[in-house]
Chain A
Amino acid sequence: MSKIGLYLCKCGPNIAEVIDLDSIVQSISQDKTVAGVQIHNLLCSEDGKKFLAESIKKNEFERIVIAACSPKQHEATFMQVLSSAGLNPYMMQLVNIREQCAWVTPDKNAATAKALTCIRAAINRVKYHALLEKKEIECDPGVIIIGGSITGLETALRTAQHDRKVYLVEETTLGGRIKNMRVLLPLMASAREILQAKIDAVRNNKHIEILENCTIDDILGFFGNFVAHVHAQDKKEHELKAGAVVLALDAQQFTPTGLSSFGYGQIENVFTAAEFEALSSDKVVTKSGKPADSVAIIHCVGRKQLGYCSKICCANSMKIARDIVSRSSGTKVIQFYKDLCLPDKSYDRFYEETQSKGIQFIRYNEIEIEQKDGHVAVKVNSPGDEGIKITVDMIILSTGITPPSRAAEFARMFNVPIDEYGFLKQEHTILEPVSTITEGVFICGGMYGPGDITDSLAQAGAVAGKILSSLVPGKLLELEAKTSTVSETMCMGCGACVDICAYGAVKLDQNKNISVVNEVLCRGCGNCASVCPSGAAGHRHFTTRQIAQEMIQILK
């Protein structure tokens, strides 16, 4: 039988002032299976750890029970002491007689009695502990970037280096929303030139592998150890390994179908801003091909439905207005706005310059689009006005920004919560804007809310910084040692454990018709062991026998 050593910690006065440790020593000394009991004032101190290691070696104890504080506090500490004393660190059980006994009640008798029961239970349990091996793997410093938007391109460029592979996965072709723009704020620079420069840089970078027309099916794993399954348009499947995942999908523009007052989809020559920008013709023409002499741009379309201001559409509308006028100097442009939102320091001047180009700004309370003799009419109620009606050739609806189409899916995939609007939640709104609560999963671009290009590029830089500093090549990852296993002889291949695993760590071996646990992905939650009716699936550190022996002592 193994020699069991029991150590009781006074924890300064925290435990000793409530629990009668001497009486526990007396009771335990009658247990023949315990080779020795000792009390120490503060086991977690340098002196305490030294004492523990030396005592274990001197007494040649093989299994240890420590009655002290919460495992959350010092389980790791004492496991290290065991290692330094030459013992397998899993040959120990830490009993919480502080938070769960001394700090629960002032009643000394009750606290001492409970502590004694828990210690007895732990002694019984530790007899059945198995030698578990600590496993380490080298982290994969690579990055998978989902979304070939300008944000994705930028993140790829900033993270790719000689010892770090970057995968850029995009469902269509590279470029994102900017592909369909002509000019960019706030300088009215050519969207195509800026985008092409980024795309060229990415294509020329030998550390970046581009997977265009590819869709992510699933991503399993954790920080330092992700595995992604991707399929291409031609159905070919790829498996990508990386250490971090960046979600850089472009947000979408709200489509106002169903908002009848704007006539979208019902009245001709009513476009959303994104649709208008995507029109390829250099001339500003209506659907019939006739040049548009007058264009109305309506701001804040769908703002009430979305419930938030999308920050960039007012300036974007001005950008579109100025672009129209520069392409077609005779065209009259009127912007109908509710509240003018100009959050960037360059936008005030941008607004003045827009006005100076003859673009008219009219404030409105209510607005309605009608069809009138082949033209479109804008009926407006402005503050202080009875109402105006203006006929134009074309209407552009500036609608708000909505989450990327697969946002909810990816959120579920990575256990990242989404907010009430469908955007992904940042780890912390102030302190951690580009990471999520899932370690190793980062967000930028349109993933957590509306923003413009400068926002997106700044976020890309932030993500890159976090990845470069935390995912260092050569860094070792400690894997969970307390994993689940499936007995090959007992397993009947019913697949219940496969269905129930939240980490994708259990798979069916089709040949042998049994389940197999991937110990690298397993997080040791034990759900598989719970659902298996025969006990074929078990947990290395929570075996039926260990739990039963602990319970039996408690119920005695």
Chain B
Amino acid sequence: MTVRKLIHAFMEKKCFQAVLAPVRIPSGESFAYELMNDRTKIEQCEPLPPIMPIPGARVLRDLTRKGEPDFKILCIMHPCEIRAAVELAKLRQVNLNNITFMSFDCPGVFPTKDYILEPKKYDTSYDEILKTFEGENFRVSCTTCIHFSDDGIMTDIHIANLGINGDKLLVQALSKKGEECLGALDLSLDQETSNRQEKINTVRKKREANREKLFSEIRPQVKGMDNLDSYFADCINCHNCMRVCPICYCRQCFFDSSDTKRVETDNYVSRARKKGGIAFPTDTLLFHLGRMSHMNLSCIGCGACEDACARDVPVAQIFNFMADQLQKMFEYLPGRNIEEKIPVLTYTEDELHEYEDAKEKP
């Protein structure tokens, strides 16, 4: 049994009428999401590609923002992409009706810039990595990701591929939708015999250690305005990170608006006078900190921002670092549960006392 065979079995039983999954582009160097119902096309899809040029949640947003499709779609995405889609659903930018999610245990993805130079080398390397989940050269965000499996995400069907070798496929139905789909198949189901949970825990421990190490390295790099300026010194304010971010949904980003773009000459001149100089392009830090304050509560740590950065600024690392702390403050995990409201929209009179008057924030 392979994933493709499974998809076919589902479609024969009319569990869904189309598939939204990554497909290798003709040149072979990259992947793009395609919505397809043609059997041959589906045969060619790559459920777990080695790169993630655009997070799938963005695609789902384009597809369903204006309404639900009138047929069922199987949406094959990485765990982080599903979490982003759930966050977008909370913001009414994605309609999850008629969408069935299929997720995988994810070892991580390579930086797109590296992959497209030598796709075949990375493909081979990835096939090996899928067996052991141990690999180098992944996105930094992936090496510190602890939600790479089925926990903390709202998925329907989960392919538990970590540590499963051979012809068997471990499929989990993690929702009513998933149960209905699996129930529709006439498959002989064996009992799970692998030591999968142990393997998951091993990988998670490693990732948590990476996470702690990375955050402790980042902390001194981003303390204070001078350090922040250095951190973002290479930024050219192209806003690619914002464009590719699955959470950023504004039709016009505030930092592209006339309020921030059509600034009087006198403004620049007086700032230069006051500080002894002004560097151009201006307000890059304003853009990053502003965007962070808008979307950080929902940041799922996919690292698409850093992947798309034209100048290799470690954007994802600082955003993940901040998201980790901010989400812990509110005990909020984006994408975990669609009923869980984003904290900026809830009001609790009595909260956050531990952050009042603290000299050194906990």
- Which A residues fall within an 8 A CB radius of B? 489-496, 499-500, 508, 513, 531, 533-536, 544-545, 548, 552, 555-556
Minimum CB–CB distance for B282 against chain A, Å: 14
Say whether B251 faces chain A, with CB atoms less than 8 Å apart: yes
The answer to whether A494 and B274 touch across the interface, beta carbons within 8 angstroms, is no
Chain A residues with CB under 8 Å of B200's CB are none
Given A535-B257, A545-B259, A494-B251 contact (CB < 8 Å) = no
The answer to whether A533 and B345 touch across the interface, beta carbons within 8 angstroms, is no
Say whether B355 faces chain A, with CB atoms less than 8 Å apart: no
The answer to whether B270 and A556 touch across the interface, beta carbons within 8 angstroms, is yes
Closest to A493 in B: B92
How many CB-defined contacts (below 8 Å) exist between A and B? Answer: 51
Given A492-B93, A500-B345, A548-B259, A534-B254 contact (CB < 8 Å) = yes
Say whether B329 faces chain A, with CB atoms less than 8 Å apart: no
The answer to whether B254 and A535 touch across the interface, beta carbons within 8 angstroms, is yes
Minimum CB–CB distance for B305 against chain A, Å: 16
Chain B residues with CB under 8 Å of A494's CB are 91-93, 249
Given A545-B259, A548-B259, A496-B345 contact (CB < 8 Å) = yes
Chain A residues with CB under 8 Å of B274's CB are 555-556
In Å, the complex CA distance between A533 and B259 comes to 13
Minimum CB–CB distance for B201 against chain A, Å: 37
Chain A residues with CB under 8 Å of B257's CB are 534-535
How many of chain B's residues touch chain A, expressed as a range?
A: 20 to 34
Chain A residues with CB under 8 Å of B267's CB are 552
The answer to whether A490 and B251 touch across the interface, beta carbons within 8 angstroms, is yes
In Å, the complex CA distance between A555 and B271 comes to 9
In Å, the complex CA distance between A380 and B216 comes to 71
The answer to whether A533 and B252 touch across the interface, beta carbons within 8 angstroms, is no
Say whether B185 faces chain A, with CB atoms less than 8 Å apart: no
CB contact between A531 and one of B92, B251, B345 (< 8 Å): that residue: B345
Chain A residues with CB under 8 Å of B254's CB are 533-535
Minimum CB–CB distance for B346 against chain A, Å: 8
In Å, the complex CA distance between A417 and B92 comes to 34
In Å, the complex CA distance between A407 and B295 comes to 38
Chain B residues with CB under 8 Å of A508's CB are 92
Chain A residues with CB under 8 Å of B344's CB are 496, 531
Minimum CB–CB distance for B173 against chain A, Å: 31
B87-103 vs A: 1/0 string, CB under 8 Å? 00001110000000000
In Å, the complex CA distance between A548 and B295 comes to 22
Say whether B219 faces chain A, with CB atoms less than 8 Å apart: no
Chain B residues with CB under 8 Å of A495's CB are 91-92
Minimum CB–CB distance for A262 against chain B, Å: 36
Say whether B116 faces chain A, with CB atoms less than 8 Å apart: no
B194-220 vs A: 1/0 string, CB under 8 Å? 000000000000000000000000000
Chain B residues with CB under 8 Å of A534's CB are 250-254, 257
Closest to A494 in B: B91
Chain A residues with CB under 8 Å of B270's CB are 552, 556
Chain A residues with CB under 8 Å of B251's CB are 489-492, 534, 536
Question: Quick one: which of B27-47 are within 8 Å of A by CB?
Answer: none
B324-362 vs A: 1/0 string, CB under 8 Å? 000000000000000001001100000000000000000
Minimum CB–CB distance for A142 against chain B, Å: 31
Chain B residues with CB under 8 Å of A513's CB are 66, 92
In Å, the complex CA distance between A535 and B290 comes to 12
